[in-house]
């Protein structure tokens, strides 16, 4: 499997389907996760976030009441959020490209389409550990950096400057 000590993680699983929660819990326990907390609603999950301060949240999109996107936005932007930086893995049957974009734009860290697989959960869990994404704050977004690839397509006012090459850095240092 992997060399991670998953037994040190606290994971919150939020899904209104008790069978899906049990399946995800069983997979996580097989990885060695000991501290697994469950919630059937986003409202109850919001309360648990403050009580347990999980290391990772596995979250369904479709929930009764507040949905997973709304909870993600609260976690990322509410002044009352206990940890706006917590990695959120969206686990959902809504796998169309538009849904993936909406989840990304809400601040989801990783996206995993149902039906769930052991490999899928391990891959996403490993991704949030191995490659923690930097967080970005703009006028309209706060969350993990949405860029997966280096594209030069965007040229708007909030575009990040390119990283200087090593030769440029030396030249700048020599000019000082």
The C-alpha atoms of residue 42 and residue 21 are separated, in whole angstroms, by 14
Q: What are phi and psi of 125, to 5 degrees?
A: -65, -45
Q: pLDDT by residue (tens digit) across 44-77? A: 999 999 999 999 999 999 999 999 999 999 999 9
Closest to 11 (Cα-Cα) out of 42, 43, 49, 41: 49
Q: How far, in Å, CA of 174 to CA of 8, rounded?
A: 47
Strand runs labelled E in 15-149:
35-39, 56-59, 88-92, 110-113, 135-137, 142-144
* Distance separating alpha carbons of residues 54 and 141, to the nearest angstrom: 23
Q: What is the pLDDT of residue 134?
A: 77
Report d(CA 71, CA 13) in Å as an integer. 13
Check whether 154 has a pLDDT greater than 70. Answer: no
So what's the pLDDT on residue 141? 79
What is the arithmetic mean of pLDDT over 127-143? 82
The token duo for 7 is: 């037994």
Q: How much of the chain, in percent, has pLDDT values that exceed 90?
A: 61
Q: In the chain, where are the structural domains located?
A: 6-144
Query: What average pLDDT does the segment 95-114 reach?
Result: 90
Once rounded to an integer, what is the mean pLDDT over residues 82-111?
Answer: 91
Residue 26: is its pLDDT beyond 60? yes
Q: What are 137's two structure tokens?
A: 């704050």
Residue 3, pLDDT > 60, answer yes
For 6-144, CATH number?
Answer: 3.40.50.2300
Q: With DSSP H G I counted as helix, E B as strand and the rest as coil, what are the percentages for the chain, rounded to 5?
A: 40, 15, 45
**Tokens in use for 63?**
């929930």
What pLDDT does residue 157 have?
A: 64
Average pLDDT score over residue span 123-142: 84
Q: What is the mean pLDDT of the chain?
A: 85
In tens, the pLDDT along 140-151 reads 777 888 665 555
């Amino acid at each position: 499997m992997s060399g991670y000590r998953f037994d040190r993680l606290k994971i919150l699983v939020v899904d209104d389907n008790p069978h899906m929660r049990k399946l995800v819990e069983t997979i996580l326990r097989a990885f060695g996760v000991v501290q697994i907390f469950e919630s059937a609603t986003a409202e109850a999950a919001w309360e648990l976030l403050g009580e347990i301060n999980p290391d990772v949240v596995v979250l369904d999109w479709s929930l009764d009441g507040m949905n997973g996107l709304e909870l993600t936005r609260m976690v990322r932007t509410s002044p009352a959020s206990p940890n706006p930086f917590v990695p959120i893995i969206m686990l959902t049957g809504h796998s169309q490209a538009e849904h993936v974009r909406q989840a990304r734009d809400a601040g989801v860290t990783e996206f995993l389409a149902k039906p769930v697989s052991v490999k899928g959960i391990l891959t996403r869990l490993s991704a949030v550990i191995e490659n923690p994404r930097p967080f970005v704050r703009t006028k309209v977004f706060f969350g993990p950096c949405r860029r997966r690839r280096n594209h030069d397509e965007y040229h708007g006012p909030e575009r990040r400057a390119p990283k200087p090459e090593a030769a440029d850095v030396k030249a700048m240092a020599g000019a000082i």
